[in-house]
Structure 1
């Protein structure tokens, strides 16, 4: 054998020897670490002083604005903040703007031309309040606001990963959320049922379905190591619960004590231990809801460096120390069917001992009305999150929510009835000189409208865009509930999936149902939604991205769906109006919520005349609809 061959063989055996030594040392280190005592850091008084951990106390409402501006307490807080910055609020937006804003905001659908005409023509002082009540009472309200919650719940109807297996009954959780919101289920009860519905109401099927929140995350049922699957699912569940209900990134503590917040690794695994007895796993079987196992013999441990192979010190279930009084004791009450861990945890979440839950949900509701929360990091109220732009208002709203029985509809009502919400997002053409001066000052001093010196313009999400096109075309099917429907997809998209992963729903009338009922597959986002930044369902999403890209225009202009909706709208309008000018007006009303100005009407009419006898030009009314679907004014809410 040549020298080089001997050298290579020696090198190979040397690598094997070194690797064996490293494995042995790691094993010895793991054993030593396993038997060592985990030293949980204490929480200092200064860490407890962080604003988010302070108890909710009554907040004095500022006195009436010197400007004589405002309708309710929200306006008093906003006016005080604006005055501090030397800014002034704006007068009310037009009625056409307000009905379009309110309709999309509360129901996710635009107002019909008849609804616009009725509201604009109603000169009574109670017209706006009556509109708010009608929209909050509509079943469309739950369908709209459920989507916001499903983003947080990382909801999908499949498992994800390579095989993306179907979860046959996952849609039941989506329907539960819609119904709960429509019924104005108090938020504290909404929380309790999603954490411990099966324990609190053992004979109520809907309460068991509610716990689908906990198990909605991605999962790999076919994994060989059940312990690894269990560890991964529990950690994801615990992290999501911390983000959604507490507004804290507690998932950062699954491998080590949190680097910034007063959350230890033991805190994370104590919270995880609350859910461990309720996670019943079977290989190749998808998770749907929680199911407690009694008696539960398995002990809970800190997992050293987050490794499921390396059990550290044993611990008992518990809640976050920093969000509780120093003398708080976690004391579950067991029954014949449950140890009561989750029931006790849910009670703590909505109790006076926990200052976070009400603040977090109030901020989320505010965010969806104004585009940005009072806290700009809605799932991170920790020390690295954003400070509130108006903490007195945030705390007043949180306290008010509790005092009003945790009613989310009352919270919506307070917000949308405020004069703050009714401000315009642009300067009217007939503005006076003082109004123009105040506007320019607001642009300079509040460029992002975070202080609400005006209403922040917002883009529609993909679900609202699709629903608006369906409604404008006259083809929206308002059937509610049931398994997700699968409209046709481009073949090139279907080709990226495994066989039978997108079997088109046979009943074609189902294809035009609202977007919340479109089948939510984890490994493929419906094209219209994907183009307009629908998030992945693999993690909880508190704020959607808002990008501006070429594929968005390509999707809205060139997709078969857009053309189909424009064609159907043209046919529907022609069945109602025979006069071309009225057809143009009705197309604008259905899409933009207003009639065209004289110049727009003339330009459309000239285009029609120019192509009236051109056999190569598609139907001009269809062309108009397609153009309107692509207008900025269609995609943005003023």
Structure 2
């Protein structure tokens, strides 16, 4: 049916409402099918059953070196070291591979690797986007929260709940303060003057991203009308949006409660001592500040601007949200500098400034915070069904509720003193093992990471317009096994990478290619091109300069020559910082790191469930000509000469083992040794050219 023209397809759907639609499988509870006979490994049992029906089988097992390189990249995003390869090849025990898998899953690099695709889903970025593209200096704490969650194998249902409602379910736990950053990563035109439109765009983004990331559905298609193909109504859309109607961006403290209380006490003491002098200084500054803010205030419609004049406690929840957006711009414009004053007034102010400076040591440094989300209070603004999705055309008021085709109920919410409790109700519903979408969607995402393409290829579109699962029984079995394991993400990874399907060779056969050219049945391992992050990390690793420091503020590597000096991107002063893993590179929406962009990284302005791999001339030109890659080659050469001295045979052997995780063949050794001997430049230049060639090989760029 998916090959029908869309218009005809919709006619078929409308004429036959009683029949099950191809996309409705996703909205039904996951069954627990029996594992087919034929293999002790459940994944192989399901796959082989379909392969045998197609008169196909697995390809031969991959060579140990190729398998180690594959699993190391998949689970850590890094190449194996020559020592790891030697140890694996030496270990002839029947559990040699399983021991490697357990080592990789226990590595801190596992979370750094898996976090990359989750951050794509969360549209994680450290700037607002739009023209101003203002910085978000504490956004990186969400990235570290995600990495830590995967490394500690936090149960996925808990991971999900925290991202939607950590402030409600764990208000005093600073270790999860950044979790609701998931809701804050929307692009934001922070200097917009149409504040109701801005509010609605934020709500739309949060609603759409939550549905796509956790439920794998295109809920946004029901924004203007009932979903044309999936069982989702427009009422469903705005009932779901009502869970977020009270959104209130905030900065949550990340200090333990006792330390936070101590800071607040010290701050209160400093404020009490300096209250008089600060008041006098403020009185002098006020005319200058008022003049600046008056101009900014004039940009807004008076209906918005006058909300600032209402005391906060007297504002309605909706007024608080709109006034906060307006106030940030107006108050932010209240700039003042001493150069604006003259004469006696300036002298008086400077004297007060000296008095204030006498207490500077008593003022505690501002505590660290995380960019987070909470609610405006225990009561949310009303949520309306919008006609054609237009914020100016409000229809019926709706209460928070779930997707009716799954659970046709209004939500039962329990407000707290500071929050509506709505997001907790939503989080609990999504994280319920009985929800037919949640577990299926997550195991399918892991499958995509491991096997390049999901059992459902459209990983955020479990619906009629998306792809049907190639192995629906296997998907349901995995979903049930996932929840039974306590929602362990590492359990799913271990299950998949220990299957014979994963361990087979990437080379195919003519029979397989003629029967299943897209490899839907997995009769050979998929060949994968490294993404930009893994490619850069691999270069740093083989050069011997990768800085494995974990966490903390993001770093800024050098930009290509033509982009140096671009605003908002100052390279980190320390070479060690510039050489940290790619997951720690700053994500600036209007200036993405070019290396990642060129190799298909998304712009993080909206959720991205799958990176599409392109092959373009600029990729080759960058690898051949860019000074950053040339510098990698020189650094790689310096490492080889340090390790092997002037022995060309040893240099060649070491180069291949580091770059390609294998020794050179006899022909490769002979030809590269002759190349080094005949090179017209210095020994260092010759080795650097060899290294540059290795870094440009398809064998380096791809994982078999």
Q: Same fold (TM over 0.5)?
A: yes
Alignment partner, residue 72 of structure 2: 103
Q: How does 1:323-472 map to 2 (within 5 A)?
A: 323-324=406-407, 326=408, 328-426=409-507, 439-472=509-542
- Superposed displacement of residue 340, structure 1: 1.5
Say if 2:648 is the partner of 1:583.
no
2:662 to 567, 570, 594: 594
Say if 2:30 is the partner of 1:56.
yes
The 1-side partners of 2:585 and 2:131 are apart by 21
The 1-side partners of 2:607 and 2:498 are apart by 30
Q: Does the CA contact (< 8 Å) of 2:648 and 2:676 recur in 1?
A: no
Q: How does 1:227-238 map to 2 (within 5 A)?
A: 227-238=196-207
Output one character per residue of 1:190-237: Cα deviation in whole Å (capped at 9) or x when no partner: 100001111101112233310111111211111112211110011011
1:625 to 669, 676, 691: 691
Output one character per residue of 1:283-328: Cα deviation in whole Å (capped at 9) or x when no partner: 357993212122425211011111111111111011111122x5x4
The 3 A distance-change label for structure 1 pair 47 and 445 is closer
Alignment partner, residue 568 of structure 1: 635
Q: Does the CA contact (< 8 Å) of 1:208 and 1:290 recur in 2?
A: no
1:292 to 375, 379, 388: 375
Q: Does the CA contact (< 8 Å) of 2:560 and 2:628 recur in 1?
A: no
Output one character per residue of 1:429-467: Cα deviation in whole Å (capped at 9) or x when no partner: xxxxxxxxxx32112112121210110111100000000
The 3 A distance-change label for structure 1 pair 577 and 491 is closer
Alignment partner, residue 72 of structure 1: 41
Q: Does the CA contact (< 8 Å) of 1:71 and 1:418 recur in 2?
A: no
Alignment partner, residue 16 of structure 1: none
Q: Does the CA contact (< 8 Å) of 1:216 and 1:288 recur in 2?
A: no
- Superposed displacement of residue 132, structure 1: 0.3
Q: Does the CA contact (< 8 Å) of 2:163 and 2:183 recur in 1?
A: yes
The 1-side partners of 2:520 and 2:608 are apart by 21
Output one character per residue of 1:88-125: Cα deviation in whole Å (capped at 9) or x when no partner: 11221111011000100000000001100110111111
Q: Structure 1 residues 80-89 or 356-365, which shifts more?
A: 80-89
The 2-side partners of 1:560 and 1:183 are apart by 38
Say if 2:332 is the partner of 1:265.
no
Alignment partner, residue 179 of structure 1: 148
Q: Structure 1 residues 275-284 or 151-160, which shifts more?
A: 275-284
Q: Does the CA contact (< 8 Å) of 1:157 and 1:522 recur in 2?
A: yes
SS at match of 2:501: coil
Say if 2:553 is the partner of 1:479.
no
The 2-side partners of 1:207 and 1:215 are apart by 14
1:558 to 618, 625, 628: 625
Q: Does the CA contact (< 8 Å) of 1:474 and 1:569 recur in 2?
A: yes
Unmatched segments (≥5 aa) in structure 2: 1-13, 250-320, 333-369
SS at match of 1:131: helix
Q: Structure 1 residues 338-347 or 615-624, which shifts more?
A: 615-624
The 1-side partners of 2:386 and 2:688 are apart by 61
Report the aligned-residue RMSD: 1.9
The 1-side partners of 2:245 and 2:410 are apart by 20
- Superposed displacement of residue 48, structure 1: 8.0
The 1-side partners of 2:190 and 2:660 are apart by 47
Alignment partner, residue 671 of structure 2: 603
SS at match of 2:178: helix
The 3 A distance-change label for structure 1 pair 348 and 44 is farther
Alignment partner, residue 209 of structure 2: 240
SS at match of 1:289: strand
Output one character per residue of 1:128-178: Cα deviation in whole Å (capped at 9) or x when no partner: 010000000000000000001001111110000111110010000000000
2:578 to 511, 528, 531: 511
Q: Structure 1 residues 137-146 or 601-610, which shifts more?
A: 601-610
1:526 to 581, 593, 596: 593
- Superposed displacement of residue 337, structure 1: 3.3
- Superposed displacement of residue 616, structure 1: 8.2
The 2-side partners of 1:45 and 1:181 are apart by 43
Q: Does the CA contact (< 8 Å) of 1:217 and 1:537 recur in 2?
A: no
The 3 A distance-change label for structure 1 pair 162 and 597 is same
SS at match of 2:165: helix
The 1-side partners of 2:493 and 2:40 are apart by 15
The 2-side partners of 1:562 and 1:213 are apart by 34
The 3 A distance-change label for structure 1 pair 314 and 80 is same
**TM-score where L is the length of structure 2:** 0.79
- Superposed displacement of residue 45, structure 1: 5.7
Q: Does the CA contact (< 8 Å) of 1:448 and 1:456 recur in 2?
A: no
The 1-side partners of 2:233 and 2:545 are apart by 54
**TM-score where L is the length of structure 1:** 0.87
SS at match of 2:373: coil
The 2-side partners of 1:206 and 1:307 are apart by 39
Output one character per residue of 1:46-97: Cα deviation in whole Å (capped at 9) or x when no partner: 4688111111222100012xxxxx4511000000010111111122111101
Say if 2:137 is the partner of 1:168.
yes
Say if 2:73 is the partner of 1:119.
no
Q: How does 1:284-323 map to 2 (within 5 A)?
A: 284=328, 288-296=371-379, 298-323=381-406
The 3 A distance-change label for structure 1 pair 297 and 54 is closer
The 2-side partners of 1:474 and 1:329 are apart by 57
The 2-side partners of 1:99 and 1:424 are apart by 12
- Superposed displacement of residue 242, structure 1: 0.9
